[in-house]
């Protein structure tokens, strides 16, 4: 998922915003472990997270003054198995994914073009592709299906998978296991349409979410930005799109599919995060807006048992930011809440689950989540049980 922005809207302190968060320590179960990583240089953050069927964890991270990009593989205990520095031509990494064979995929930006690469389970590069037009193009997320195909989404100022509809358009493409482009599509309005996240369901349908300041649907253009979701068939055929907006700024930042083929969208309206469920036909089943949280939703993930996990940042009573994590059931009922924070600033980047009943978070901190802060901003990851 894209990590370029994390712009919470700051304002006057609202005491009511902390309902459900200003609890005793016993109300928040501790993580199984937290790993903090840093040097005396700027460590940036883990920008995206994925897991595989063996319980391994894959994370991309920018390190140092020159913001070099690395991909790391950890075991389920948070110990590094290998790490690989990416080329100097890589400007930014926004997304990471894995397949059933343990291969890992990265998506991002090189120069003014989109970029996607595939590595095997040992971290050896299998293939990489530079994708673009004569205009600016970037890749913002990547996902896979059970057949080994890979899907990439992003932003283009040109004609990437069709005509440009206005300013920046969203795009999506499918590659086979060898990196050959199978199909590509473009989605846009008269405004700017940014694709923030994507998911592929068990039927190989593709879902995109993002934000727009235009009218992706008839009557959808509101004074400020709106959230949107779109669905494509496995063949690349466009199926449907939905636009959602309020009087505030609205954005959809991430999407996840469950085993039944329903999808869950995490987003923010104004200063409140929300979670929404859509069925396969695009009908909204429910939406839960967290009026008790003053912050932003950042990521969403599902597990095989029907749990939905949402993470984001929340402004605390001390005017700093902590990480929140909530579990919902498929009916939209909150199962539990967690909070992670220090005296410093903690921001989440992504969330993922494994098949063994665990949920993982990544982000950045200026405090000491695990051991001492080694200077400025450190990266971190944490592991929780999915059960209460």
Residue 134's CATH number:
2.120.10.30
- 123 vs 81: CA distance, rounded Å: 10
Q: 346-370: string of b/e by CB count within 10 Å (b at 16+)?
A: bbbbbbbbbeeebbbbbbbbbbbbb
- 369 vs 362: CA distance, rounded Å: 12
Please give the residue that has the higher pLDDT: either 335 or 162. Answer: 335
Residue 267 lies in a domain: yes
- What's the pLDDT score for residue 26? 40
Residue 227 lies in a domain: yes
Report the chain's mean pLDDT, rounded to a whole number. Answer: 87
- The CA angle 190-219-163, to the nearest 5 degrees, is 30
For the chain, the farthest-separated pair of C-alpha atoms sits apart, in whole angstroms, at 56
Reported as a pLDDT band with limits 50, 70 and 90, residue 203 is very high
Task: Dump pLDDT digits (tens) for 121-147.
Answer: 999 999 999 999 999 999 999 999 999
Domains identified in the chain, total number: 1
DSSP of 55-94:
S-EEEEEEETTTTEEEEEEE-TTS-EEEEEEPPTT--EEE
Residue 13 lies in a domain: no
Residue 268 lies in a domain: yes
Domain that holds residue 227: 29-385
Residue 370 lies in a domain: yes
Residue 320 lies in a domain: yes
Task: Dump pLDDT digits (tens) for 62-108.
Answer: 776 566 889 999 999 999 999 999 988 898 999 999 999 999 999 99
Task: Dump pLDDT digits (tens) for 220-269.
Answer: 666 689 999 999 999 999 999 999 999 899 999 999 999 999 999 999 99
- What's the pLDDT score for residue 330? 97
Mean pLDDT across 149-176: 94
Task: Write out the two tokens for 104.
Answer: 């890992």
pTM: 0.90
Reported as a pLDDT band with limits 50, 70 and 90, residue 17 is very low
- 170 vs 189: CA distance, rounded Å: 9
Residue 14 lies in a domain: no
* CB 105, CB 142: distance < 8 Å: yes
């Amino acid at each position: 998922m894209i990590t370029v922005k994390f712009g919470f809207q700051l304002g006057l302190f609202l005491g009511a915003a902390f309902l459900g968060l200003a609890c005793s320590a016993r109300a928040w179960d501790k993580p199984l472990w937290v790993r903090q990583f840093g040097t005396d240089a700027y460590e940036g953050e883990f920008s995206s997270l994925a897991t595989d069927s063996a319980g391994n964890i894959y994370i991309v991270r920018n390190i140092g003054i020159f913001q070099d990009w690395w991909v790391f593989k950890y075991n389920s205990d948070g110990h590094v198995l290998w790490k690989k520095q990416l080329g100097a031509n890589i400007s930014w990494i926004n997304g990471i994914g894995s397949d059933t064979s343990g291969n890992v995929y990265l998506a991002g930006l090189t120069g003014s073009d989109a970029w996607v690469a595939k590595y095997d389970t040992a971290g050896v590069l299998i293939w990489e592709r530079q994708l673009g037009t004569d205009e600016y193009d970037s890749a913002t997320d990547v996902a896979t299906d059970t057949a080994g195909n890979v899907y990439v989404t992003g932003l283009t100022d040109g004609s990437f998978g069709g005509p440009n509809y206005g300013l920046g358009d969203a795009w999506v493409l499918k590659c086979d296991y060898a990196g050959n482009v199978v199909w590509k599509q473009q989605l846009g309005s008269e405004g700017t349409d940014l694709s923030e996240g994507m998911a592929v369901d068990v039927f190989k349908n593709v879902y995109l979410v993002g934000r727009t300041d235009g009218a992706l649907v008839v009557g959808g253009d509101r004074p400020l930005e709106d959230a949107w979701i779109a669905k494509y068939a496995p063949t690349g055929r466009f199926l449907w799109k939905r636009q959602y907006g309020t009087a505030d700024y609205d954005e959809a930042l991430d999407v996840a599919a469950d085993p039944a083929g329903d999808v869950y969208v995490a987003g923010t309206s104004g200063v409140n995060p929300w979670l929404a469920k859509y069925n396969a036909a695009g009908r909204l089943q429910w939406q839960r807006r967290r009026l008790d949280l003053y912050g932003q939703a950042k990521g969403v993930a599902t597990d095989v048992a029907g749990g939905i996990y949402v993470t984001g940042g929340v402004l605390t009573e001390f005017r700093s930011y902590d990480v929140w994590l909530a579990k919902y059931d498929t009916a939209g009922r909150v199962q539990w809440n967690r909070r992670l924070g220090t005296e410093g600033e903690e921001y989440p980047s992504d969330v993922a689950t494994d098949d063994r009943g665990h949920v993982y978070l990544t982000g950045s901190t200026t405090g000491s989540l695990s051991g001492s802060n080694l200077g400025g901003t450190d990266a971190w990851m944490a592991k929780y049980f999915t059960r209460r």
